[in-house]
C-alpha cells in the first residue's frame, strides 16, 4: 500500500501562517470610520470593520486591549496611514455588541461530513486574585465551545459558545438545523446518542442518505420495531452485538471523529484555552472571531488525509 500526502504544500502553508506581511485595501481604509447615520445623538467613530480587525489582531497575537490599541497604532505608522486605532475602552464596549458573520466554509456538491464535539474554555471570574494570592478554594468557571467541522477541509462550519450547563446534544440540534450546506454524514461520540439527533438529521432534505455515525451506549438495545422496521440506530446496535464495537468502528471509519478533537487542539494551541473577555456577549464574539481565524488558516493549507492505494 502507498500513502499520498501533501507535506510540501502543508509545510509552505505553515510558513505562510507566520508571515506578518500586512496591508490594507483602499476599501478597508475608506470603511475604517463609521458613516454618519443621520439620527440624533452621538455617532459612532469607528466602523464594525475597524473593531473586528482590531479584535482579530488581539486574538492572533494574544494581547490585552491596551496592547492591541498600541499595536494597531504602530501598524498605521509603519504603513504611513492617516488612521487612528480604536481605544481599549471602545474595543471593550463595542466587542459586546459586534455583529459579525461566521466565516463561510467551503464544501462540495457531495455534501459535508460533519463531525461534532465540545470542549471547555476557562474564563476569568470573581475570586481569581484571591485564589492566586491566598490559595482559597473556589469553583472553577468555564464556558463550553461547541464545534461542527467539515471532515474534508477541516474548516469549522458551525460554532457556538454556551454556559457549561448546556448539554452537548442540545447544542448539536441547533447546529444541525442551522448548517446550510447539505449534510452527507453526521458523526459524533456517544454523548450525542439520542433519538432527537437521529430525527433531526433524517429530517433534513439534503437529497442524500444523511448517514449517522454515532456509537450507541454500551447498554443500548434494539427498539421494539426491530427487525421489521429497524431504525439506523438499531442497525448500529445490532452490528455491535454481532461483531463487536471494534469491528463497528473499523466498518464506519470512526477514527475520523478524531478530526474534531484535533480542531479543539488547534483552537487551544493557536488561540488559547482561556477566554479573554469577561462578559458573556463579548465571549461569544471572541469565540466566533477565533473560529474565523482558524478557518482562514485552514484555507492557507491543511494536510490531506493519507489515501491508501493498492501497490
> What tens digit of pLDDT does each residue of 207-246 get?
667 899 999 998 889 888 888 888 899 999 999 999 999 9
Q: What is the DSSP string of 242-280?
A: HH-HHHHHHHTTGGGGHHHHHHHHHIIIII-SB---SSH
Identify the pLDDT of residue 185. Answer: 92
Identify the pLDDT of residue 310. Answer: 39
Specify which residues 142 forms β-bridges with.
122
Q: What percent of the chain has pLDDT over 70?
A: 84
Contact indicator for 271, 38 with CB cutoff of 8 Å: no
The answer, yes or no, to whether residue 81 has pLDDT greater than 80, is yes
**pLDDT classification of 132: cutoffs 50, 70, 90:** low
Segment 281-287 mean pLDDT: 94
Helices (H), the chain: 7-17, 26-30, 48-61, 65-78, 88-94, 128-134, 168-178, 195-203, 232-243, 245-251, 258-266, 280-300
Supply the Cα-derived Rg of the chain in whole angstroms. Answer: 23
Q: Which three cell numbers stand for residue 28?
A: 478597508
Number of H helices, E strands in the chain: 12, 7
- Vertex 161 angle, CA 31 and 60, to 5°: 50
Segment 278-300 mean pLDDT: 91
Residue 292, classified by CB atoms within 10 Å of its CB into exposed (0-12), middle (13-18) or buried (19+), is buried
d(CA 305, CA 301): 12
- Tell me the CA end-to-end span of the chain in Å, nearest whole number: 5
The answer, yes or no, to whether residue 291 has pLDDT greater than 50, is yes
Distances (CA, A) of 280 to 50, 54, 125: 21, 19, 11
d(CA 82, CA 145): 39
Helix axes of 232-243 and 195-203: crossing angle, nearest 10 degrees: 130
d(CA 93, CA 288): 17
Segment 250-262 mean pLDDT: 93
Of 35, 88, 23, 105, the C-alpha closest to 291 is: 105
Sketch the domain layout of the chain as residue ranges.
Answer: 20-94, 112-279
Q: What pLDDT, in 10s, does the model give residues 152-161?
A: 888 999 999 9
Q: What pLDDT, in 10s, does the model give residues 9-18?
A: 777 777 776 7
Amino acid at each position: 500500500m502507498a500513502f499520498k500526502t501533501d507535506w510540501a504544500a502543508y509545510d509552505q502553508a505553515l510558513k505562510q501562517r507566520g508571515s506578518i506581511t500586512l496591508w490594507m485595501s483602499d476599501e478597508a481604509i475608506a470603511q475604517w470610520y463609521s458613516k454618519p447615520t443621520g439620527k440624533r445623538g452621538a455617532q459612532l467613530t469607528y466602523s464594525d470593520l475597524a473593531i473586528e480587525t482590531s479584535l482579530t489582531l488581539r486574538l492572533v497575537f494574544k494581547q490585552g486591549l491596551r496592547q492591541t490599541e498600541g499595536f494597531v497604532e504602530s501598524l498605521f505608522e509603519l504603513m504611513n496611514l492617516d488612521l487612528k486605532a480604536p481605544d481599549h475602552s471602545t474595543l471593550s464596549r463595542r466587542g459586546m455588541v459586534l455583529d459579525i458573520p461566521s466565516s463561510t466554509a467551503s464544501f462540495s456538491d457531495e455534501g459535508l461530513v460533519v463531525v461534532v464535539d465540545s470542549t471547555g474554555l476557562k474564563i476569568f471570574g470573581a475570586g481569581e486574585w484571591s485564589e492566586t494570592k491566598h490559595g482559597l478554594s473556589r469553583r472553577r468557571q468555564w464556558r463550553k465551545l461547541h464545534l461542527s467541522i467539515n471532515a474534508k477541509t477541516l474548516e469549522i462550519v458551525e460554532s457556538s459558545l454556551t454556559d457549561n450547563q448546556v448539554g452537548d446534544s442540545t447544542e448539536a440540534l441547533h447546529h444541525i438545523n442551522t448548517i446550510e450546506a447539505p449534510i452527507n454524514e453526521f458523526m459524533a461520540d456517544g454523548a450525542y446518542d439520542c433519538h432527537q439527533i437521529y430525527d433531526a438529521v433524517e429530517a433534513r432534505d439534503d437529497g442524500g442518505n444523511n448517514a449517522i455515525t454515532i456509537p450507541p451506549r454500551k447498554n443500548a438495545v434494539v427498539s421494539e420495531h426491530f427487525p421489521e422496521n429497524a431504525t439506523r440506530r438499531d442497525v448500529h446496535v445490532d452490528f455491535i452485538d454481532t461483531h463487536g464495537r471494534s469491528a463497528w468502528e473499523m466498518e464506519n471509519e470512526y477514527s475520523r471523529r478524531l478530526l474534531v478533537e484535533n480542531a479543539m487542539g488547534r483552537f487551544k494551541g493557536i488561540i488559547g484555552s482561556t477566554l479573554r473577555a469577561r462578559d458573556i456577549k463579548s465571549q461569544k464574539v471572541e469565540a466566533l472571531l477565533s473560529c474565523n481565524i482558524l478557518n482562514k488558516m485552514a484555507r492557507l493549507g491543511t494536510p490531506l488525509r493519507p489515501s491508501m492505494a493498492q501497490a
